[in-house]
Amino acid sequence: MTRFGAPPSLDATANRPSYADLPAPVRHRIARELGDEPDSIRIAGGGFTKGFAARVRSGSGTEYFIKAAGPKTPEVQAMYRQEARYSAALPSGVPAPEVVFTDEVEDWTVTGFEAVQGDPVTLPMAPETVRQLLDAWAQAADALDPPPTALVQLGIGVKTGRSLKAFNAVASGEQPPFALPPRLQGRIDELAAFEAQIDTVIASDRISHTDLRPDNMLIGDGRAWICDWTSPRYMAPWVDTTLMLLTVHGDGHDADSLFWRHPTAVEVTDEQLDTMLAAMTGGLLRGWSDRPENLISPAVDHMMRWSGLAAADWLANRRGW
């Protein structure tokens, strides 16, 4: 139990189909890559999309991490297609599983990734685990600077703050108020003023992951890997550092010190960090009531609320509220 309630079980949030649920042609395609029918299938317990994701191994020992989605979950299928394209274009310096194969089979998208020898991150995290996560991101951010040609040629978009202006929507009467922790109550206008700067704050000519959370990473053999490169965008990399550290702060570590010591935080100002924390707080605590039900696991509600409370607490500590 943490100050923000029971922490999310990062390795048990998923709602996924089984291997038997995959169409026979998709299973045959996977078996062809493995060289035989699989004799071990470990469904990924983490993540929030409702696509198939599992470590699949044949009797000969060949093993891949497989992702697959079909026309009944079109949003997931589109995300998996994007992830395969972007992941294949990452430079070698990025600590991420390599794409081994990707294909379209009977209206399904199926991708096989390198089965790195790592495990999902779970809470509580040891300080060494936190260090490994932050080191992996520092390495990735450095490898993505300047933006690699292969990624740029895929048409990387620009991350905007459109979804990060919840307090402005409340202040203007566009949306109803949502529940806030005591330390933020009565501060809607102040929080909205921070949010108003969000587009300027996140703007960058560098490429970032845009969804860098510990549940999108693996730990093993003294290092970390960054997974789920579904939506890299032009965005200041320190924003992803902040996002990762929300979970770290909620887990009881000194996120503020860790942020300022990270290479991506060079030249970031206190005002910029507070703007980002305010925007993340609003976006997470407002929740995602209109999400596509065939896309997202219900566990996302717990994750968002817990992370939002952690963001609010980190911001309140910094502002002395």
CATH number at residue 30: 3.30.200.20
Same domain, 104 and 131: no
Q: Does residue 303 share a domain with residue 192?
A: yes
Report the pLDDT value the prediction gives residue 168, as an integer from 0 to 100.
97
Give pLDDT, residue 85: 98
Residue 213 resides in a domain: yes
Is the residue at 14 inside a domain? no
How high is the mean pLDDT of the chain? 95
State pLDDT tens for residues 284-308. Answer: 999 887 777 767 788 888 999 999 9
**Per-residue pLDDT band at 4 (split at 50, 70, 90):** confident
Looking at the structure, do residues 248 and 126 belong to the same domain, yes or no?
A: yes
Same domain, 232 and 252: yes
pLDDT at 99 over 90: yes
Report the amino acid identity of residue 134. Answer: L
* Strand ranges inside 44-175, DSSP E: 52-58, 63-69, 99-105, 108-114, 119-120
The H-or-E segment that residue 233 falls in is: strand 233-234
Asked if pLDDT for residue 2 goes beyond 90, the answer is no
* 40 lies in the same domain as 139: no
Is-contact 317 181, C-beta < 8 A? no
Residue at 139 is within a domain = yes
173 and 226 co-located in one domain: yes
Task: Check residue 1 and give its pLDDT.
Answer: 60
Strands 99-105 and 119-120: unpaired
Query: What pLDDT shows up at residue 294?
Result: 67
Q: Which residue has the tokens 């089984």?
A: 18
Does residue 139 share a domain with residue 231?
yes
Residue 13 falls inside a structural domain: no
Residues 169 and 241 in one domain: yes
Residue 12 is assigned to a structural domain of this protein: no
Q: Are residues 58 and 192 in the same domain?
A: no
Residue spans of beta strands (DSSP E) within 83-195: 99-105, 108-114, 119-120
Domain with 312 in it: what CATH number?
3.90.1200.10
* pLDDT tens readout for residues 116-154: 989 999 999 999 999 999 999 999 999 999 999 999 999
Say how many domains are in the chain. 2
Residue that terminates a domain, selected from 92, 114, 136 = 114
Nearest CA to 10 out of 164, 219, 241, 287 is that of 219
1 lies in some domain: no
Burial of 6 (0-12, 13-18, 19+ CB in 10 A): exposed
Diameter of the chain measured on Cα atoms? 62
Does 7 reside within a domain? Answer: no
Cα 310 off chain centre by: 16
**Domain ends where: 88, 114, 140?**
114
Average pLDDT of span 230-235:
97
Whether residue 230 sits in one domain with residue 98: no
Does 2 map to a domain?
no
Mean pLDDT of 95-115: 97
Last residue of a domain, one of 114, 133, 160: 114
Same domain, 99 and 80: yes
Cis omega before residue 146 (within 30°)?
yes
Q: Is the peptide bond before 71 cis (omega within 30 degrees of 0)?
A: no
Tokens of 171: 């202040």
Q: pLDDT by residue (tens digit) across 49-66?
A: 889 999 999 988 999 999
Q: What is the pLDDT of residues 176-208, one digit of tens each?
A: 999 999 999 999 999 999 999 999 999 999 999
> Which residue range is the domain that position 250 belongs to?
119-319
pLDDT digit string (tens) for 68-78? 999 999 999 99
Q: Is 244 helix (H, G, I), strand (E, B) or coil?
A: helix
Same domain for 176 and 284, yes or no, is: yes
